[in-house]
């Protein structure tokens, strides 16, 4: 099976998930998945009529599955990455709590349910990161422009106490005020 190495549109991400859904149907696997990372932002912004940079992977976290072991093998077979504990903030329980997610509707999936976190939660993943790529996303995409600034700031304040060293100068959060000012947010 060949993998598409770059996902540029909502349709390309959904097409890959459709392939996974067919595979799950043939193998009697049922699952609820949350799409995170760049593909989650691409889906969220794309469904709002906005764009996001291309992404080279689809990152997921599993909420539930009829067979976690078979699902894990299936995700791997389709080049879909499981995030599982890579981030401390936001906590995974917030990223997988269905109250914080919206379900992708109208996809025709039969064996998988696909959810995406709010833009504010996805933005927090980048804000509490040290990665230059995440900082560039905050600076050069419409991610922050599309967030509800009040909700975003509330989440930031909620998560700050959970960061091991909030004074770490390499955390992207320390650039946030400048980015807001540059973007006139």
What's the pLDDT score for residue 83? Answer: 85
What's the pLDDT score for residue 85? Answer: 59
For the stretch 48-58, pLDDT in tens is 999 999 999 99
Task: Print burial letters for 146-167: b (CB count within 10 Å at least 16), e (below 16).
Answer: bbeeeebeebbeebeeeeeeee
User: Can you tell me which residue has the tokens 């969220």?
Assistant: 44
Counting beta carbons within 10 angstroms of the beta carbon of residue 50, is it exposed (0 to 12), middle (13 to 18) or buried (19 or more)? middle
What's the pLDDT score for residue 143? Answer: 97
The vertex-69 CA angle with 64 and 75, nearest 5°, equals 80
What's the pLDDT score for residue 86? Answer: 63
| Residue numbers in the chain where pLDDT is lower than 50 | 1
Give the bridge partners for 62, in sequence order: 33
User: What is the helix (H) or strand (E) element at residue 117, kind and residue range?
Assistant: strand 112-117
């Amino acid at each position: 099976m060949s993998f598409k190495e770059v996902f540029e549109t909502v349709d390309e991400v959904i097409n890959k998930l459709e392939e996974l859904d067919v595979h799950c149907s043939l193998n009697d696997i049922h699952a609820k998945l949350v799409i995170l990372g760049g593909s989650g932002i691409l889906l969220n912004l794309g469904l709002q009529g906005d764009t996001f940079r291309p992404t080279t992977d689809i990152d997921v976290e599993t909420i539930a599955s009829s067979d976690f072991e078979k699902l894990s093998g299936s995700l791997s077979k389709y080049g879909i990455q499981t995030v599982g504990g890579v981030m401390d903030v936001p906590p995974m329980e917030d990223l997988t709590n269905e109250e914080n997610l919206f379900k992708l509707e109208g996809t025709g999936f039969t064996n998988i349910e696909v959810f995406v976190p709010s833009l504010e939660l996805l933005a927090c993943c980048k804000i509490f990161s040290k990665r230059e790529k995440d900082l560039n996303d905050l600076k050069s995409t419409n991610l922050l422009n599309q967030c509800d600034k009040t909700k975003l700031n509330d989440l930031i304040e909620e998560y700050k106490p959970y960061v091991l060293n909030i004074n770490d100068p390499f955390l992207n959060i320390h650039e946030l005020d400048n980015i807001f000012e540059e973007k006139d947010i």
